[in-house]
Amino acid sequence: MTEEMLAHPWFGTWLAALLAVPLALLVHRLGGLVLVRITRPAPALHAMVLNCKPVARVVLPLVALLLVFQAAPNDLRFIGTVRHFNGLLLIAATTWLAVKAISGFADGVLAQHPSDIADNLHARRVLTQTRVLARTAMTMVLVAGGAMMLMTFPGARQVGASLLASAGVIGIVAGLAAKPVFSNLIAGLQIALAQPIRIDDVLVVEGEWGRVEEITGTFVVLKIWDDRRLILPLTYFIEKPFQNWTRHSSQLLGAVFVYADYGMPMAPLRKEVERIVKAATEWDGRFFNLQVTDATERTMQVRVLCTAATSSLAFDLRCKVREGLIDFMQREYPQFLPRMRIESDGMHEKPLHQGAHAVRAAYPMGQLAQEGVPPR
């Protein structure tokens, strides 16, 4: 039995393979320890090495087996099939290793720029660039790996050559069909480099207020204030206009509009606005004022401007100011609330609010203009 095994044509090849695999695992073990220690000062490379270690445990033995099978005699039975199968496994494992390397490097970069801080503009810029570029690179690696695996089959090479040689019309049709894919790919690169939007940016798109929750290789997920999700293709943000409230800073200037009768004195109203704004925790201390910005035949328009650090705080501050002003006017100057009056003859000498025959209809007191939508 032993003599038959020693005389078998595959004995030397399998013996070499049995020795090569443990040797490759030993190299993986020692090399991994060395690389982990060397890359520790560089967080991105260190994260990449840690992410690649499990996959490298598969790649290195396959490389060792490839060397063994290539050194085997060509007249061995099934050696071609074994080499082909080993090559397919190696391509797949190498592709997996490249994807893990890109993913690990991206994780290492993101770990150095946490976005859960107050001033996270730079972190969100890095987050957007890293995620979009990493996903684009991983997509390209997967496509290249699949193409290399197909090219190992002679039949696939012949089919590909014949298609390239004779399928002009088919190529045009395929190009038109693949246009959205390539358009989104290019749009993704433009978004990553030019950054018209970033992760966690506050946008107004299609009349909806929301935050950028995710940017994939083909679309952007916008989380609307009421927890709905608006899905838009990447090309939308290259081809169409939209509002970005946090392009350079998250600070906003909020506007509150109320309407009052012409008899309303401005001095106590300004004093009350100052009290409300300075007492509000949402105000960032930069600026506030009150002005009469318009006058109609019935009322005057009073506008209050106030600043906040974020859009969410700006919305809450606007609501607080609006409620405070309405409450102040109701309590201290109810006679100057907006009203529509119809008076009979002979009543002109009486104060408007004391006319016995006046028919009064309520007029909206807190009409908004340019208020946006709730931030939650």
Q: Given the structure tokens 């102040």, which residue do they identify?
A: 328
Q: What is the pLDDT of residue 307?
A: 92
Q: Select, from the ranges 17-26, 193-202, 260-269, the one with the highest average predicted confidence (pLDDT).
A: 260-269
Q: Where are the domains of the chain?
A: 2-112, 252-362
Q: Is the pLDDT of residue 306 over 50?
A: yes
H runs (alpha helix) in the chain: 2-7, 11-38, 43-71, 79-111, 121-151, 154-166, 168-177, 179-194, 236-239, 266-279, 311-332
Q: What is the pLDDT of residue 118?
A: 60
Domain 252-362: which CATH number of 3.20.20.70, 3.30.1370.100, 3.30.70.100, 3.30.1600.10: 3.30.70.100
Mean pLDDT on 247-260: 86
Q: Is the pLDDT of residue 255 over 60?
A: yes
Least confident of 124-138, 221-235, 362-376: 362-376
Averaged pLDDT score across all residues of the chain: 79
Least confident of 44-58, 332-346, 349-363: 349-363
Q: Is the pLDDT of residue 187 over 80?
A: no
Q: What is the pLDDT of residue 372?
A: 44
Least confident of 72-76, 288-292, 310-314: 72-76
Q: How confident is the model at residue 180 (pLDDT cuts 50, 70, 90)?
A: low
Q: Are 317 and 254 in contact (CB under 8 A)?
A: yes
Q: What is the pLDDT of residue 179?
A: 57
Q: How confident is the model at residue 359 (pLDDT cuts 50, 70, 90)?
A: very low
Mean pLDDT on 265-275: 93
330: CB partners within 8 A, 6+ apart:
337
Q: Using alpha carbons only, give the angle 70, 73, 76 rounded to the nearest 5 degrees.
A: 110
Q: Is the pLDDT of residue 56 over 80?
A: yes
Closest to 245 in 3D by CA, of 283, 279, 208: 208
Distance CA 322, CA 289 (A): 14
318: CB partners within 8 A, 6+ apart:
254, 255, 256, 306, 371
Distant-in-sequence contacts of 358-364, Cβ < 8 A, 24+ apart: 363/259, 363/298, 363/299, 363/337, 363/338, 363/339, 364/259, 364/338
Tokens of 119: 């001033």
Q: What is the pLDDT of residue 129?
A: 77
Q: How confident is the model at residue 291 (pLDDT cuts 50, 70, 90)?
A: very high
Q: Is the pLDDT of residue 46 over 90?
A: no
Q: What are phi and psi of 327, to 5 degrees?
A: -65, -40
Q: Is the pLDDT of residue 216 over 70?
A: yes
Distance CA 208, CA 202 (A): 10
Q: Is the pLDDT of residue 23 over 80?
A: yes
Q: How confident is the model at residue 83 (pLDDT cuts 50, 70, 90)?
A: confident
Q: What is the pTM assigned to this prediction?
A: 0.51
Mean pLDDT on 25-42: 88
Q: Select, from the ranges 69-73, 181-185, 237-241, the one with the highest average predicted confidence (pLDDT).
A: 237-241
Q: Is the pLDDT of residue 173 over 70?
A: no
Give the pLDDT confidence of 116-147 residue by residue, as tens digits.
Answer: 666 566 677 777 778 878 888 888 888 888 87
Distance CA 199, CA 349 (A): 64
